Chain A
Amino acid sequence: MKIKSVSTGVWTVVAIAVAVVWAFPVYWMFNSSFLPNAVLQSTTPTFLPFGGSFDNFKNVFADGKFVAALGISLTVTLTTVAVALFVAFLGALAISRFKFKGRKSFILAMLLIQMLPAEGMFIAQYKMMSSVGLLNNVLGLTLLYTAAVIPFTIWMLRGFVAGVPAELEEAGMVDGLSRTQAFMRITFPLLAPGLVASGVYAFLQAWNEFTVALVVMTEDQMKTLPLWLRGFVQASATRETDWGLVMAASMMVAVPVIIFFMIVQSKMSSGLVGGAVKG
């Protein structure tokens, strides 16, 4: 089959070309972040970071606001993940282990809510937060984020809970465990991968969120990482944008997320295609 192998060769070249084009923006961030502004000022781009340094990263850290924003992002995100996982887990149990009046409406509501765009609600959320004094407040943002990720988390966990047959639990109960014991010793350990996958999903959602944060975190010292990065770019643009510095700042926001994402992606994608939401 000589003809076939020749055309496979052509397609391989096409595939690699596509891969290079698609990854190029990410590479460009990496490349520019190591280069000094003097090099980036040149009209001919420098395609490899030879002679680069970590100076840009040091200068971003020296700004000080990065660490503050990191602290706020970590607080909001970790609280969101913990609360959302706990609450959504209870909800997932209810819909996959019990039959009750309103179950179908509840599922329908969860599916519809996860479709609602933040842009269609943020004005009202802003008004609400300002009237109860929770603008520029970590608690307020956490509440909004938790509500935003719960519907999807319930939907994702529901699949995992349903995947553990209730017969296993019942068998445990026949052997003398109480209902709670049977659940904690048999079902819960089997759900761990599902909890991790859903938790990571909630983490990425909250960590990368920009729209709602922009509206309710208006003060400079209350910025989350995405808002900080935007502010950093704007501040740099008032002089003449130091792209090396800005790319180093982007790297510091993006690299942890990319590593995290790569590790869990295979576990997440099944949930995503099974009726889920990315952003």
Chain B
Amino acid sequence: MPSHAPAPPAQQPPQVESASTATPPPVVKKRKSKAPIFLIAPTLIILIAALGYPVGWQIVTSFQKFGLKQQFGAPPEFVGFDNYTALLTDPNFWVILGRSLLFCLLAAGITVLIGFLFAILMKRVGTVARLILQVSMLLAWAMPVVAAMTVWVWLVDWRRGVLNWLLTRFGFDAEGHNWLAEPLTFFAIALIIVVWMSVPFVALSIYAGLTQISEEVLEAAAMDGATGIQRIRYIVMPLIAPVLSIVLLLQLIWDLRVFTQIKLLQDAGGVANETNLLGTYIYQMGVGSGDFGAASAVSILMLIITIAISWYYVRSLMKEEN
């Protein structure tokens, strides 16, 4: 992660007109005006009320003992880094953090790999097959997450789900097997579901990137004797590297926060204590047991991890902005 801070806002570089952009860059008003302050004021007010204040409260509370007693009016007690020390010395926290990071890496990696392969496939086949594939991707992408989870729980239902029926037909002994009861298969199912939900966005984004690559270059390479794999490795990959890195980053950020999927799978029969990831862990600690001090500390750690991952992406967007 780059550790240096962005340039302070006062040092605006002079507007450099970029010749390559098709649309003219925003014309920036020269004269000093109060207007922009009024224009951003509503945004600032809403964000401070709904996000700024809670995050501030959370930072303060993460340094306090804030449990059930405080819920009933006792003043919170300042305990310094106690919540953090307690967390960082709790093996259970490390298990959950490790599990969350592993899940996130696996889900994001598999999603981008499959999305890339599907994008290549869309490029390779004719218009009709491509449209069928695209519509199928869009259907999966459009499903509201709660509805999608409900269907998946039905698909993997241990008694009459299609998954067990199919596996049994292929000769596996899957009849009556409850996949959600064991943590390992619970996460395997969660991984499949998350990948299923995320691949469409990745595949369609990469495909959009692929359509930008000129056919002439690929044909020239083919004439020079480059095989399909070589063309992908030496021409396609470098050209779509920016898109790939953006979707991978977004996927990492999104897969760290798979609260809804895990929560609804736990509803359907997962043992909550053995299948928590960061999101459900915070929920259980805060809303479930009322330990707001500790829950705040985990929340702050989760925010720091997210900002650390997003930093590179945000910086690259800021560079484009200038």
Interface positions of A (Cβ within 8 A of B): 8, 11-12, 14-16, 18-20, 22-23, 25-26, 28-29, 32, 40-45, 83, 86-88, 90-91, 93-108, 111-113, 115-128, 143-144, 146-148, 150-151, 154, 161-163, 165-167, 207-208, 210-211, 214-215, 226, 229-230, 233-234, 237, 241, 243, 246-247, 249-251, 253-254, 257-258, 261-262, 265, 269, 272-273, 275, 277-279
Name the CB-closest residue of A to B152.
Answer: A25
- Chain B nearest CB, measured from A229 CB (Å): 5
Q: How many A-B residue pairs have CB under 8 A?
A: 326
Which B residues from 28 to 46 make CB contacts under 8 A with A? 28-30, 33, 35-40, 42-43, 46
Task: Kindly identify which residue among B148, B160, B162, B282 contacts A119, using a CB–CB cutoff of 8 Å.
Answer: B282
> B318 in the interface, Cβ–Cβ < 8 Å?
yes
| Contact stretch, chosen from B18-26, B77-85, B86-94 | B18-26
22 pairs, A vs B, C-beta closer than 8 Å: A18-B136, A19-B137, A23-B140, A29-B154, A88-B43, A94-B36, A95-B40, A99-B28, A104-B12, A105-B9, A117-B306, A118-B259, A119-B283, A123-B286, A126-B287, A128-B57, A162-B23, A208-B146, A257-B142, A257-B144, A265-B138, A275-B246
- Chain B nearest CB, measured from A206 CB (Å): 11
Contacts of A230 in B (CB 8 A): 146, 264, 267
Task: Kindly identify which residue among A97, A121, A143, A229 contacts B26, using a CB–CB cutoff of 8 Å.
Answer: A97
Contacts of B151 in A (CB 8 A): 25-26, 28-29, 247, 250
Task: Please tell me if the beta carbons of B36 and A23 are within 8 angstroms of each other in the complex.
Answer: no
Task: Please tell me if the beta carbons of A273 and B243 are within 8 angstroms of each other in the complex.
Answer: yes
The docked-state distance in angstroms from the alpha carbon of A150 to that of B51 is 11
The docked-state distance in angstroms from the alpha carbon of A99 to that of B11 is 12
- Chain B nearest CB, measured from A43 CB (Å): 7
Question: Binary interface profile of B, 228-265, with partner A (CB < 8 Å = 1, else 0)?
Answer: 00000000000000010010001001101101100110
Evaluate whether A279 and B314 lie within 8 angstroms (CB atoms) in the complex, with A18-B121, A99-B12 already known. no
Task: Please tell me if the beta carbons of A124 and B57 are within 8 angstroms of each other in the complex.
Answer: yes
> B167 in the interface, Cβ–Cβ < 8 Å?
no
Name the CB-closest residue of B to A147.
Answer: B50
- Chain B nearest CB, measured from A201 CB (Å): 13
Task: Please tell me if the beta carbons of B125 and A123 are within 8 angstroms of each other in the complex.
Answer: no
Task: Please tell me if the beta carbons of A143 and B49 are within 8 angstroms of each other in the complex.
Answer: yes
The docked-state distance in angstroms from the alpha carbon of A171 to that of B7 is 35
> B279 in the interface, Cβ–Cβ < 8 Å?
yes
> B108 in the interface, Cβ–Cβ < 8 Å?
no
Contacts of A104 in B (CB 8 A): 6-7, 9, 12, 318, 321
Extra A-B contacts (13), CB below 8 Å, given A127-B54, A148-B51:
A26-B151, A91-B42, A91-B43, A93-B39, A95-B36, A112-B310, A117-B303, A127-B57, A143-B46, A150-B47, A257-B144, A269-B204, A273-B243
Which B residues from 98 to 137 make CB contacts under 8 A with A? 118, 121-122, 124-126, 129-130, 132-133, 135-137
Name the CB-closest residue of B to A163.
Answer: B23
> B145 in the interface, Cβ–Cβ < 8 Å?
yes
- Chain A nearest CB, measured from B213 CB (Å): 15
Contacts of B204 in A (CB 8 A): 269
Name the CB-closest residue of A to B197.
Answer: A279
Task: Kindly identify which residue among A25, A163, A253 contacts B196, using a CB–CB cutoff of 8 Å.
Answer: A25
Name the CB-closest residue of B to A98.
Answer: B36
Name the CB-closest residue of B to A43.
Answer: B160
Task: Please tell me if the beta carbons of A127 and B292 are within 8 angstroms of each other in the complex.
Answer: yes
Evaluate whether A278 and B296 lie within 8 angstroms (CB atoms) in the complex, with A8-B126, A29-B147, A253-B144 already known. no
Task: Please tell me if the beta carbons of A107 and B124 are within 8 angstroms of each other in the complex.
Answer: no
Task: Kindly identify which residue among B138, B155, B254 contacts A278, using a CB–CB cutoff of 8 Å.
Answer: B254
Task: Please tell me if the beta carbons of B43 and A261 are within 8 angstroms of each other in the complex.
Answer: no
Name the CB-closest residue of B to A244.
Answer: B154
Evaluate whether A121 and B162 lie within 8 angstroms (CB atoms) in the complex, with A22-B196, A208-B144 already known. no
Name the CB-closest residue of A to B256.
Answer: A117
Task: Please tell me if the beta carbons of A123 and B43 are within 8 angstroms of each other in the complex.
Answer: no
Contacts of B259 in A (CB 8 A): 118-119, 210-211
Task: Kindly identify which residue among B23, B28, B55, B143 contacts A26, using a CB–CB cutoff of 8 Å.
Answer: B143
Task: Please tell me if the beta carbons of B139 and A258 are within 8 angstroms of each other in the complex.
Answer: yes
> B141 in the interface, Cβ–Cβ < 8 Å?
yes
The docked-state distance in angstroms from the alpha carbon of A108 to that of B145 is 29
Task: Please tell me if the beta carbons of B12 and A22 are within 8 angstroms of each other in the complex.
Answer: no
Name the CB-closest residue of A to B43.
Answer: A91
Task: Please tell me if the beta carbons of B132 and A19 are within 8 angstroms of each other in the complex.
Answer: yes
Evaluate whether A214 and B263 lie within 8 angstroms (CB atoms) in the complex, with A28-B155, A124-B61 already known. yes
Question: Binary interface profile of B, 279-307, with partner A (CB < 8 Å = 1, else 0)?
Answer: 10011001100001001100110110011
> B191 in the interface, Cβ–Cβ < 8 Å?
no
Task: Please tell me if the beta carbons of B126 and A258 are within 8 angstroms of each other in the complex.
Answer: no
Contacts of B321 in A (CB 8 A): 104, 107
> B208 in the interface, Cβ–Cβ < 8 Å?
yes
Task: Please tell me if the beta carbons of B125 and A8 are within 8 angstroms of each other in the complex.
Answer: yes
The docked-state distance in angstroms from the alpha carbon of A226 to that of B259 is 14
Contacts of A122 in B (CB 8 A): 282-283, 286
Evaluate whether A215 and B162 lie within 8 angstroms (CB atoms) in the complex, with A19-B136, A147-B51 already known. no
The docked-state distance in angstroms from the alpha carbon of A40 to that of B148 is 19
Max count, chain B CB within 10 A of own CB: residue among A90, A112, A117, A273: A117
Contacts of B40 in A (CB 8 A): 90-91, 94-95, 106
Max count, chain A CB within 10 A of own CB: residue among B30, B200, B278, B286: B286
